[in-house]
Chain A
Amino acid sequence: MAAYEFTECSEQYTDYKQLSSALLDLYDASLSAATSLFCGARRTDVWAAALDDRYALNGEKLECETARLLCGCIFRPLVKNGAFDEKITEMLRTQLIDNLDSAINDKAVYASERAAKTAFIGEAAELPASGLSENAKNVTAVSAFNAYREMMKTAHAEICAVGCSEFAESEQIFTEEFSKLDRENIYQLKAEPSALKKTPAIIEDNLEMQQAILRMYFKAPKMDDRPANALFSRILGGMTTSRFFTNIREKRSLCYYCGSSANRFNRTLVCSAGIEPQNAEKTREAMLAEINDICENGVTNDELERAKLEILDELSSTYDSALGISSWYLSQITDEKFISPEEFAELIKAATPDRVKEAARKYGLDTVYLLKNKE
């Protein structure tokens, strides 16, 4: 609920209308919050974005004002009698439940949430990032406020500021706000691999729909070669000349989309495809065949070079987006040290076909999930 409370109102702006009007006054500054899963923990991101001061028509100090507004929402929420405002919380609870229930509106999201229940059973990731609808129903103004206080006291916190500014004044504003908090027992983030099942779980799910969605989860608890792993995922199903795209979509016309993505934190590889229900088995076999082929025969120098070029190009683009820069560094908060995009580029360049093959061989099949029409 914290993500909802942060962007709804504050002690200064006591309802959504007032807060929205303040953002409009700051030339459509944005204020957003979202909950996600990160290293087995629930992560709440709150961010604000504003125009650079030089674009203000009347000389307004947009950066400082936006930083103050953001801090107001995070550090001084609207509190009444030791709890969030009851009416507002009731409305936000309904909104949260609506959003959780609406996963069914997007079949890919629905399939991902349903598959995660099996793929990550017993782990934080088995539940959606914002929790379950049935649990959200029990949230009260008091329980939400207590959770908020606990978060402010113990959560691992990171601040990231990106833009054409030195951020000296913003830094001062945040420093002052944090100095007023009693912080203790700070949560220690740690990237833990997801456990690989001894026998793969095979799940079939049904919904009123025309297309079917196949998701396969592979896990490599002992993965220790990040560059090779990134290249393997890219070659397998992460680019337009990938094995999946070329052989499963283009040559066999089995699907419109067919891709793979690796999560380096829980050391999982997810392969997914949108298919005709009758092609589910063929697609599953085709995806497994591509992985097996890389495990046995490795990748070609040409494939490796193409994947490297794509990743290197993306790394060079990191600095052209505020979100790109913040995401790059925030994704490293559990690493031993921060590395720059240029340093990671050097690691990518050094990867060899043998290392990619070795990375592929570390994976084992964990879960096969199929969502298809009710028969």
Chain B
Amino acid sequence: MMIEKIYNDIIKETCLKYVCSCGTEVYMLPMKGWNTAVAQFTARFGSQDNSFISDGKLIEIPDGTAHYLEHKLFESDEKDAFSLFAQTGASCNAGTSFDYTQYYFSCADNFRKNLEILLGFVSEPYFTEENVEKERGIIGQEITMYRDNPSWRVFTNLLEGIYVKDPVRLDIAGTVESIAKITPKTLYDCYNTFYAPSNMFLCAAGNIDPDEIVQICENKLKKAKPFKIGTASYDEPYEVNKKLLRMSMPVSKPIFEIGFKRPAVYKEQEISDYIYFNILLDMLFGNSSEFYEQMRIDGILNDEWAVSVFNGRGHFFLAARGESEKPELVLEKMQELFVSYKKDPPERELFERVKKATYGSLVKEFANVKSVCTTLSEAALSNVSPFCAIQTAASASYETLLEKLYDIDAENACISIIEPL
């Protein structure tokens, strides 16, 4: 049994990595003195995976298939997964994102039993005409619920505005029309492709025994030959798809979301860009910035304002969201500020302050079992060390930050606005 130790000197924590004989990677971080344990089992299959190649042929998948599969995987021909977890008291759930689907549980007792249930139900699909049909109504209502949510709509409209071809522009749950095309065969085909052991990973943190986890994984996970999943290739243009999208819904005040599109980056580069651009956004537009102070005084922004980086497989953009009667003015001011800071960069002292805060916020993630497990999963998804982000933040340099600032194309932006009816 070869377990690799990944140690971080800054927070004095060790993550253990094991690769199962079936190809599934396992990341574990035991936390002494904690009662709970969390495990997350992830397939690199999300809503953006809307096609694959089988026997040299391109198979297109209806939008929303990854999410539909997530719902159906909980069923079996005997007891469903919820009933099995109910016998242990664990809390379990699942979620589908753009580039992954994740199944997880948290518990204070019975970790071994819970892990066996988790690996068992995800490894044993059971799709029938009847149970697939039954889910259509439930998912249809979930889709409707999200369509009534202005915060979600302003975000999904932004994705549509930024991306021309990248399937991240499609809604995670699909549409009522697209899910009508999903059959048991669709689900089995996708499962057999994307849920291959080598396309999955398990993360666990908290009150866990690594040797026990390795043993359970080797017993429960089926052997399979690693293979490379073929998917359709597309060239996402550099420019945004649209500069502006508007929609009307019942909201009290216009809400908006802005995205500055950037080329996708991968592995350590993705984490580095994520950290540096977060620091930059906080410096220029965060809570302690002159920009935000002035915009609040002028009554243009309120406390709904937030900036962040949105990244994942194939996508990367700088985001800002808020409420304002003048959303387009906010974009204009941000663009002006990018230009002026390129001429007259922010001070090093401000960088040091925000860098320290970024480091602090990443350390705080290690004060909670669930967030530790999520940190492990996010790192596995990006194919980097679990401590890559914290290491990058602790060693960030002002000079590199300026390089990132000079590289921003402030005009390559889109704004999505939802106005009151």
Contacts and interface: CB of A to CB of B under 8 A. Distances in A.
Contacts of A322: 367
Interface in B338-375: 353-354, 356-361, 363-364, 367-369
B83 A104 contact: no
B239 to A, nearest CB: 31
Interface residues of B, number: 70
Please give me the 10 A-B residue pairs with the lowest Cβ-Cβ distance, nearest first.
A27-B360, A309-B89, A316-B108, A20-B288, A28-B357, A313-B89, A253-B137, A101-B252, A28-B360, A240-B82
B91 interface: yes
Nearest to B294: A17
A351 interface: no
B303 A95 contact: yes
B35 A320 contact: yes
Given A21-B288, A55-B11, A309-B88, 5 more contacts: A16-B296, A24-B288, A101-B252, A105-B250, A211-B145
5 contacts: A24-B357, A51-B360, A103-B252, A253-B134, A306-B87
B359 A249 contact: no
Contacts of A313: 88-91, 107-109
Contacts of B293: 15-17
B91 A28 contact: no
A310 B89 contact: yes
A15 B290 CA distance: 11
A202 interface: no
A310 B287 CA distance: 40
Interface in B126-181: 134-139, 141-142, 144-145, 147-151
B356 A24 contact: yes
B101 interface: no
B91 A105 contact: no
Interface of A: 15-17, 20-21, 23-29, 49, 51, 55, 57, 87, 91, 94-95, 98-99, 101-107, 207-211, 239-241, 245, 249-250, 253, 255-257, 274-276, 306, 308-310, 312-314, 316-317, 319-322
Given A275-B141, A317-B35, A107 B303 contact: no
Contacts of B148: 107, 209-211
B48 interface: no
B150 A57 contact: no
A312 B296 CA distance: 46
B334 to A, nearest CB: 18
B253 interface: yes
B106 to A, nearest CB: 7
A316 B149 contact: no
Nearest to A273: B141
Contacts of B86: 239-241, 306, 309-310
Contacts of A21: 288, 353
B227 interface: no
Contacts of A276: 141, 144
Contacts of B83: 241
B301 to A, nearest CB: 10
B180 to A, nearest CB: 15
A105 B252 contact: yes
B278 to A, nearest CB: 12
B142 A256 contact: yes
Contact of B368 (A91, A239, A321): A321
B405 interface: no
B230 interface: no
A20 B350 CA distance: 12
A338 to B, nearest CB: 20
Contacts of B138: 249-250, 253, 255-256
B199 interface: no
Nearest to A163: B367
B421 A98 contact: no
Contact of A57 (B82, B144, B253, B356): B356
A314 B91 contact: yes
A245 B206 CA distance: 29
B249 interface: yes
Nearest to B108: A316
Given A24-B356, A28-B360, A253-B138, A209 B287 contact: no
